[in-house]
Amino acid sequence: MTLAFVNGRVLTNNGFQTGFAVLVENDTIVGLALPSDPRVRAAERHDLGGRTLLPGFIDCQVNGGGGVLFNDAPTVETIRAIGEAHAKFGTTGFLPTLISDDAEVMSRAIDAVNDAVAQGVPGVLGVHLEGPFIAPERKGVHDPAKFRIAGADDIAMVARRHGGVTLLTLAPERVTDEVLKELVDNGVIVCAGHTAANYEITRNALAMGVRGFTHLFNAMTPFTSREPGVVGAALEDQASWCGLIVDGHHVHPASLRVAIAAKARERMMLVTDAMPPVGSDNPNFVLKGETITAKDGICQTADGTLAGSALDMATAVRNTVHMVGVPYDEAARMAATYPAAFLGLGATHGHIAAGYRADFVVMDDAQFVTETWIGGKCVYAT
């Protein structure tokens, strides 16, 4: 049976359009058609009631949600709980993110993601390993006791093939060119983050295949007049992607506006860096034995160190529109289309067009989520 999404404002590759139905069969969009099209008349109709249909949001950095943290229990059940929590906020694709940990925990996390993909857990696209090959000088909330230089066994573990994508955040000054090349040649998406590298080291890493930058501005060397640092290299390079945490706490809105203006269009993407409070009634969680409390949208340690975020993707989109001043359609692409391209999934995800996955977010006039669809199935509705 064909399902027709009708009576909505649809974000297409040509911007917002009305008067078209979106036709879905199984998990795939088969086309956009006028209401008079015989396929629409024959289809089961889903009336959007004038609401906005967006491509599903894709979050490349999700540490937790629904009261659970991936590091605490790297299992399929944890991944499922995180996905269900974030689906309430329009996330239809995500990378469970493991912050710096021991090799045994990393291996379990990779296996869990592999199993989750094999079992068809809604939304899971792969794994993000944030560390442990990062810089103590820019550790953020990571545990420096877990940091190490990547050895042959580490590289083999990270590079082993599985059902989804693998994203690795590392400090480029902590690995050799040969390690970077081996990772990239084996299909690992490498990002620079939690790094004390200078401009020259960062430019070299980009030349070796580094594809992006994890939470731009945070935990990296800043852009200054005589040392452009990691931030300067990231903004100068027009081919790489940058993740932005738009919560009003990690980065000042003015800095976000400058960065977005400097970078090539389609290369800025929204991430949440979300922690367990997202989608949970409990604002507290434990990290490295310390209780973290989310208050006023900020997750912090007792000494004021940011510990991830309490941000969801729908809020990130609203903030990008209202706090940063980005047009709604572009903010939605920063949450869906551009992350899909970054992950190498641009031919299947991130667009509302024929041949793409039927992953949707339905938003009301205030830009709040009313429905989330993954693979042609409604997984959340208010």
Annotated binding site: 130, 141, 194, 215, 218-219, 226, 250, 306-308
Radius of gyration of the chain (CA): 20
Beta carbons of 267 and 252 less than 8 angstroms apart: no
Q: Is 170 exposed, middle or buried (0-12, 13-18, 19+ CB in 10 A)?
A: buried
End-to-end CA distance of the chain: 24
Nearest 5°: the CA angle 55, 61, 63 is 125
Q: Tokens 């434990």 identify what position?
A: 286
Q: At what angle do helices 152-159 and 103-118 cross, to 10 degrees?
A: 10
From the CB of residue 143, how many other CB atoms can be counted at a distance below 10 Å? 16
Strand 68-69, strand 52-55: pairing? unpaired
Binding positions for Zn(2+) are 130, 194, 215
The rounded distance, in Å, linking the Cα atoms of 125 and 350 is 13
273 is catalytic: yes
From the CB of residue 216, how many other CB atoms can be counted at a distance below 10 Å? 28
What is the enclosing helix (H) or strand (E) of 107?
Answer: helix 103-118
SS3 (DSSP) at 56: coil
The residues, any chain, with a CB within 8 Å of residue 197's CB and separated by 6 or more, are: 135, 171, 172, 173, 205, 220, 221, 229, 230
Amino acid identity, position 329: D
Q: Which of 273, 296, 359, 364 is catalytic?
A: 273
Beta carbons of 292 and 285 less than 8 angstroms apart: yes
DSSP string, 285-350: EEETTEEEEEETTEEE-TT--EEEE---HHHHHHHHHHTT---HHHHHHHHTHHHHHHTT-TTTSS
From the CB of residue 198, how many other CB atoms can be counted at a distance below 10 Å? 16
DSSP string, 343-380: TT-TTTSS--STTSB--EEEE-TTS-EEEEEETTEEEE
Q: Which of the residues are catalytic?
A: 273
